[in-house]
Structures are given as structure tokens and as C-alpha cells.
Amino acid sequence: MKARIPKGPGAAGAANLQQLARQAQKMQEEMDAAGQELDEKEYSATAGGGAVTAVVKGSMEVQLLSIDPEVVDPEDVEILSDMVIAAVNEALRKAHDERAETMDKLSGGLNVPGLF
């Protein structure tokens, strides 16, 4: 009866480690591409029954802010301000939620610090 001598970490272990590294690199590339695509995507939201519209990019930059002139009341600027904030925050939330959902799908729920 012959004793089996382990091949050590250089054989199958190294091949598995290389495969894991390739998979991680591919996942990072896919996430980078998805991130760039999401940065350019636009998200819009309205407030005040459509009186205020905000459009933001996935990179969290405000692209457009449209205010219906009929809702501009010099005596009540506070309500207009509230509608602007509501529209911008909703558009930003949409952008954030889609980014989180897309990255979660790509990573399979894996949360590795520094990977993305």
C-alpha cells in the first residue's frame, strides 16, 4: 500500500485561487461598466401635482429643475421650496435605489469591501 503525498498548495489550490481571482476581476469589470451606465441615466420626479419637476443623473447631479410659473407665489416661497426639495429628493432616491439594485444583482449579494 502506497501513501499518498499531498501535492501541496501549488497544485489544485493555486488553480482554484486563480479562477477565483479571474471571477472577481470579471465581476469588477461588469460593475464598473454598470456604474458608468447608471451615472449617465436620468431619473425624474415631480411634486405639487406636477408643479415642480426635477431631473437628476445617476451620478447624483441635478440636470433640470422646472417650476410651473403659476405656483410661484412671492408671499409663500416656503411651499415652493418644499416642493423643490421633495422633487429633487425623490429623483435622487430613484437613482440610488436603481444603483443599489443593479450592483446587488451583479455581486449576487456579496459585499466585499473595496470591490466596488
Residue 39: CATH number of its domain: 3.30.1310.10
* CA–CA distance, 25 with 47 (Å, rounded to integer): 42
Domain membership flag for residue 114: no
Please give the backbone phi and psi of residue 33, each rounded to the nearest 5 degrees, phi first.
-65, -45
116 contacts 31 by C-beta, under 8 angstroms: yes
Domain membership flag for residue 28: yes
Res. 49: pLDDT tops 50: yes
**What pLDDT, on the 0 to 100 scale, is given for residue 116?**
47
pLDDT top residue among 116 and 58 = 58
Res. 24: pLDDT tops 70: yes
Domain with 28, as residue range(s), is 12-107
* CA–CA distance, 55 with 63 (Å, rounded to integer): 5
**What pLDDT, on the 0 to 100 scale, is given for residue 66?**
92
Render pLDDT for 52-95 as a digit per residue (tens, 0 to 9): 999 999 998 999 999 999 988 888 888 999 999 999 999 999 99
Predicted TM-score (pTM) of this structure? 0.67
Res. 10: pLDDT tops 70: no
Q: Could you give the number of structural domains in the chain?
A: 1
> In percent, how much of the chain has pLDDT > 90?
41
* CA–CA distance, 39 with 32 (Å, rounded to integer): 10
Collapsing DSSP states into helix, strand and coil, what is residue 19?
helix
* CA–CA distance, 17 with 33 (Å, rounded to integer): 24
Domain membership flag for residue 3: no
